[in-house]
Amino acid sequence: MKIALAQQNYHIGNFEENSRKIIEGISKAKQVGADLVVFSELCVCGYPPRDFLEFEDFINKCYETVDLIKEHADTIGVLIGSPARNPRKEGKDLFNAVFFLYEKQVKAEIHKTLLPNYDIFDEYRYFEPAFEWNIIEFKGKKLAVTICEDIWNMGENPLYRITPMEQLIGYQPDVMINLSASPYNYAQDVVRNSLIKAHTLKYKLPMLYCNTVGSQTEVVFDGGSLVYDINGNKVKEMNYFEEDFQLFDLAELSVEDATRIKPNEKVYFSAKDVGDGVNTLDYLADEKNIDEIYHALILGIRDYFGKMGFSKAILGSSGGIDSAVTLALAVAALGKENVRAILMPSQFSSSHSVSDAEQLSINLDNPYDIVPIKNIYESFLTELKPVFKDAPFGLAEENIQARTRGNLLMAIANKFGYILLNTSNKSELATGYGTLYGDMAGGLAVLGDTYKTQVYALAKYINKPKEIIPDHIITKAPSAELRPNQKDSDSLPEYDTLDRVLYEYIEMRKGPKEIIAKGYDAALVARILKLVNTNEYKRNQFCPIIRVSCKAFGVGRRVPIVGKYLS
């Protein structure tokens, strides 16, 4: 049996476009002589459809799309993902399902058992877990079909009390097939390979794992679909961050070779397993990770614009490292002519802030303008004089500058149809070192899930072929330049320490005692954790952040604003 995997990029709720792609994939599979073509989880509607699932009308459209696709599954078997109605009165009204289509009919329906409900996932919000398990018989072969999380219940502390493959193995299947919508983080490829290899060794079956690709607002799906043979050997790792299509021969995957079976290696079940015990700073800036992050961010930008129906970006170019890296990424994602940089110096700006930013745009060959904020800032102070009276210069005056820049950027964006890219990094967002409606403005945060350490590593990565980001931007001390001679280090701990403590708290979910036990100063840890927790109100109003880590701010991290904990 020849099985094709179609790794595709869908658009949530865009049934016309999704069905067009799926039908195209079926057609391609027929051309190459596949018996069966496998798509990814919820491909019919795109993943994650979120509360659209609560509308009958949306579910009707899913069924109509399945019906449309069915007509193309005549001489070929097709596995597609779609929500399906639960015919029982008890329990939630939907399943997260896979439809097996053949001879223009729905021949079988598989339901997802393990519904992820952590981090960015909310599947138990919508779906009833499967409580019956069956294999699919097709052309003399028994297919054990599972959906994404169904295969993630391994390790010493499994999240679920049931494991679908344990139910299916009793039917003596010939192959494991998994349809996924598994999002990227820079440890995820290691975990996936580890997990799928462990499955092939445990169940002595080949496995075909088809993932989706493409970014959906903040969540990047990286593709990287995997095929392992019966001996636990990797046969194929499909492309990352782009669509791919591959054909496999089940007979070849099923040839046992006793000499090739390796003892089970260390299995990673989560990004926390991968990140545990590493040197944090090295790990954050690891070359493999940075290379992946770079491509994830490009895809994240490109898909956000494409799926929102926009082509052009604007951003504030300050001469600092964050805006420089954001600008370079945006140019790579959207094309240099589609990214406009606005330089907005004030009386507190250093001379190099403009010259560095200009040099950057000269290197990138993208359009830029200079709009000084001094006069606007002073008109604010004049009008506020009767209210402020003789109060000394302070945070309020700093924020007026940042918000004036936000207003200018949004005005130009509104006038010409740009989306404003936000340039805040994760270290700033964590500590609240930014101005709401000022430098925190924007439609999409490119670097909001990369720590300052990683922003520097990205700058070096971008400069590897040739100097694009002027060296001075990388070497000078970071500053918000909102008052004379300001430095980030006036307000924040040094980034080397800050990023390591933040990583322990945010990604690794360690509490204060555990972090201090790793050798960090107790007062410093308390100070940093308090900054994180008391600034939740700011992040709550922040735009979507392209997620590259296992714990990004945004939908995957839900913290009470009025909570009084470590604060």
Asked whether 447 and 455 are in contact (CB, 8 A), the reply is yes
- Cβ distance to a second copy smaller for residue 176 or 555: 555
- Cβ distance to a second copy smaller for residue 377 or 456: 377
The answer to whether residue 77 forms part of the interface with a second copy (CB under 8 A) is no
For residue 253, the one-letter residue type is L
SS3 at position 472: helix
**List 410, 474, 524, 526, residue binding a second copy (CB under 8 A):** 410
- Cβ distance to a second copy smaller for residue 94 or 227: 94
Question: What whole-number distance in Å separates Cα of residue 412 and Cα of residue 112?
Answer: 47
Shortest gap between Cβ of 39 and a second copy (angstroms)? Answer: 19
Which residue matches tokens 């997990």?
195
Let me know if 513 is a catalytic residue. no
Shortest gap between Cβ of 201 and a second copy (angstroms)? Answer: 21
The pair of structure tokens assigned to 38 is: 């496998």
The answer to whether residue 132 forms part of the interface with a second copy (CB under 8 A) is no
SS3 at position 322: helix
Shortest gap between Cβ of 562 and a second copy (angstroms)? Answer: 4
Q: Give the number of residues written for the chain.
A: 567
For helices 287-308 and 321-334, the axis angle rounded to 10 degrees is: 60
Q: Which of 43, 45, 62, 112 is an active site residue?
A: 112
Binding to a second copy (CB under 8 A) within 197-256 occurs at: 216-217
Question: What whole-number distance in Å separates Cα of residue 379 and Cα of residue 468?
Answer: 37
Shortest gap between Cβ of 288 and a second copy (angstroms)? Answer: 27
Dihedral of the alpha carbons of 183, 186, 189, 194, in degrees to the nearest 10:
-110
Binding to a second copy (CB under 8 A) within 418-457 occurs at: 436-437, 441, 443
Instruction: Give the sheet arrangement for strand 444-445, strand by strand.
Output: 368-370, 339-343, 313-316, 419-422, 444-445
Let me know if 61 is a catalytic residue. no
The DSSP annotation for 308-319 comes to HT---EEEE--S
Asked whether 251 and 1 are in contact (CB, 8 A), the reply is yes
Which among 158-166, 279-287, 349-357, 489-497 is the span making contact with a second copy, rule CB under 8 A?
A: 158-166
Binding to a second copy (CB under 8 A) within 326-385 occurs at: 369, 371-373, 375-376, 379-380, 382-384
Binding residues with a second copy: total (CB under 8 A): 99
**List 28, 30, 92, 272, residue binding a second copy (CB under 8 A):** 92
The answer to whether residue 83 forms part of the interface with a second copy (CB under 8 A) is no
- Cβ distance to a second copy smaller for residue 464 or 513: 513
The answer to whether residue 159 forms part of the interface with a second copy (CB under 8 A) is yes
Let me know if 148 is a catalytic residue. yes
**List 20, 460, 489, 563, residue binding a second copy (CB under 8 A):** 563
The answer to whether residue 125 forms part of the interface with a second copy (CB under 8 A) is yes
The pair of structure tokens assigned to 3 is: 């099985």
The answer to whether residue 313 forms part of the interface with a second copy (CB under 8 A) is no
Residues 6 or more apart in contact with residue 554 via CB below 8 angstroms: 120, 218, 448, 539, 542, 544, 545, 547
Asked whether 99 and 65 are in contact (CB, 8 A), the reply is no
Shortest gap between Cβ of 532 and a second copy (angstroms)? Answer: 12
Catalytic residue IDs: 41, 112, 148
